[in-house]
Structure formats: C-alpha cells, structure tokens
C-alpha cells in the first residue's frame, strides 16, 4: 500500500513545487480533481515525467449528472466520464473516481410501478455496462465510491458497491473505499473491507472529523490490517482538511499512518 495526497492539499505555488513537497513528506502518489484536468493535461503529463510521484487517481470532475431524468445531463456525464477515463489511462492512474448521484433522487417516483431507487439502480447498471466497456477499451477503471447518507441517498456502503461490480462483471468497474464515509456507514470497517476485498482498487483517507488521519478517532490500525489481509497494494489518498501548517501537519500524518502500514 502506498500513500497519495490530493493535489489541492499540497503547499506550493506551482505543480512542480507541490509535487516536490509531497515527495519530501513521504508520499508516493498524487490525486488530481477531474474538473479542470483536461485543460491542463499536457502540463500535468510533462510535470509528472520529472517527478518521483505517480498519479494515483482522478477524482470525479465530470459535468452533467448520470442519474438525471434529463437525457442531456446524462449524455454530458457519460461523455465526460469516458474522456476522464482516457485521461486517467494516459496519466497511468489506477482509474477515475465515480459517484453516481449526490443528494436525493432526481428520478421520479413512479410507484406502484417503480420507486426512484429502482429506476436509479436499473439506469446505473445500463450506464455501467457501457462505461465498463469503455474503461476496458482504454485501459482504465471506473472506481465506484460509496458516500455517507448526508451526501447521497443512493450508494452508501461497500456491500452495495460490490453488488454493482459483480452484476456488471467487468474488470473496468471496481470500488474505492473512503475512511470518512465508512466511519459513518459501515458497522465494522475492517469486516466491510474484508468482504469487498478483491474489488477495492483505491482508498481515501480522512479521520472521523474529516481532518488529517491522526486528528480524530478512526481506528486506522484495524482498517489497514484488513487491507493488508486482502492483499491491498494500491494507493490511499488523503482527502481531508489539513490543519495548521501543512509543512508540519502533512508529514506528521504520514508518520502516523506509516506505523500501521
């Protein structure tokens, strides 16, 4: 297992400085937000060739909305997700982090025919078959991210994500496990990690209060032991608030986590 950090958390005036700082603090990877990435892909690619860091992942950043009732919103989302999967492959990243829907359902309640959640499930599967094929074709992976109940009504637990991965049955769809969301939704983080095991391709790190690991009360020791037990050898990226001086708090959090790795 390797530590990565989201680019925006790193101090530095330029990407070069940020990458140098992250390497100095003990990180091996960097995660980019997808939003503006395609506009700066050449800059990122050329800077990464000079860095010891690897791109772990791209985090979301697609426009549109995959589970919207508006066909145009869905079309834009699918188009952007496909383009970001290609960018992820070009950067040598593990894949693209994907959240199907934020907040409440956008699809209508057609009960007694179908509830919004049933429509969402069927629509998501339809989209996933297509996105999975594209991911396989370009050599990338779509990483389904369960979020806590306050951010989405839909995909909250690793078990739910496993169901989609198994239903789609493609190496182009896998799971990313975020310790902040798991701390709210999973009854036992270590057991959930063991069950999702072979499908976990990325991890987000934040403590219980979404501050850097070490600043809250999440039990990273048992979570990391479960990751080791399932043979996890990929990146875990910081996605959290960085308190105080990042020059001091980021390496402190790295040292804190390394004792469990």
Contact 57, 4 (CB under 8 A): yes
**By three-state DSSP, how is residue 76 classified?**
helix
| 204 lines the binding site for ligand LER (CB under 6 A) | yes
Task: For the segment 123-152, give every residue that binds ligand LER (CB under 6 A).
Answer: 145, 147, 151
From the CB of 218, what's the least distance to ligand LER, in Å?
Answer: 14
Note if 72 is an active site residue. no
Query: According to CB under 5 A, which one of 7, 31, 86, 178 is a site residue for Mn ion?
Result: 178
DSSP string spanning 194-255? HHHGGGEEEEEE--TTSBSTTSS---HHHHHHHHHHTT--SEEEE-SB--S-HHHHHHHHHH
7 binds, among ligand LER, Mn ion, none (CB under 5 to 8 A by kind): none
The CA distance from 148 to 129, in Å, is: 25
Nearer of residues 97 and 123 to ligand LER, judged by Cβ? 97
From the CB of 180, what's the least distance to ligand LER, in Å?
Answer: 7
Helix-helix angle 15-25:41-49, to 10 degrees: 40
Find where tokens 């469990």 sit. Answer: 260
| 85 lines the binding site for ligand LER (CB under 6 A) | no
Note if 145 is an active site residue. yes
| 202 lines the binding site for Mn ion (CB under 5 A) | no
Q: Which residues bind ligand LER (CB under 6 A)?
A: 59-60, 97, 99, 145, 147, 151, 178, 204, 239
């Amino acid at each position: 297992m390797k530590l990565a950090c989201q680019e925006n958390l790193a101090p530095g005036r330029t990407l070069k400085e940020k990458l140098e700082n992250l390497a100095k603090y003990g990180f091996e990877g960097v995660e980019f937000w997808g939003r503006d990435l395609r506009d700066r892909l050449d800059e990122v690619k050329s800077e990464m060739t000079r860095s010891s860091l690897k791109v772990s992942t791209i985090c979301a950043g697609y426009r549109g909305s995959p589970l919207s009732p508006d066909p145009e919103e869905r079309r834009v989302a699918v188009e952007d997700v496909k383009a970001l999967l290609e960018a992820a492959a070009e950067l040598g990243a593990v894949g693209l982090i994907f959240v199907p829907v934020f907040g409440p359902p956008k699809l209508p309640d057609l009960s007694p025919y179908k509830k919004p959640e049933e429509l969402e499930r069927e629509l998501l599967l339809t989209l996933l078959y297509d996105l999975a094929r594209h991911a396989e074709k370009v050599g990338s992976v779509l990483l389904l991210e369960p979020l806590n109940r306050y951010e989405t009504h839909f995909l909250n637990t690793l078990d739910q994500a496993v169901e989609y991965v198994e239903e789609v049955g493609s190496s182009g769809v896998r799971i990313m496990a975020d310790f902040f969301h798991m701390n709210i939704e999973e009854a036992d983080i270590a057991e959930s990690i063991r069950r999702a095991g072979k499908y976990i391709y990325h991890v987000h790190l934040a403590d219980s209060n979404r501050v850097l690991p070490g600043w809250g009360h999440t039990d990273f020791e048992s979570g990391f032991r479960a990751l080791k037990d399932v043979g996890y050898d990929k990146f875990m990226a910081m996605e959290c608030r960085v308190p105080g001086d990042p020059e001091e708090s980021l390496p402190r959090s790295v040292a804190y986590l390394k004792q469990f790795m």
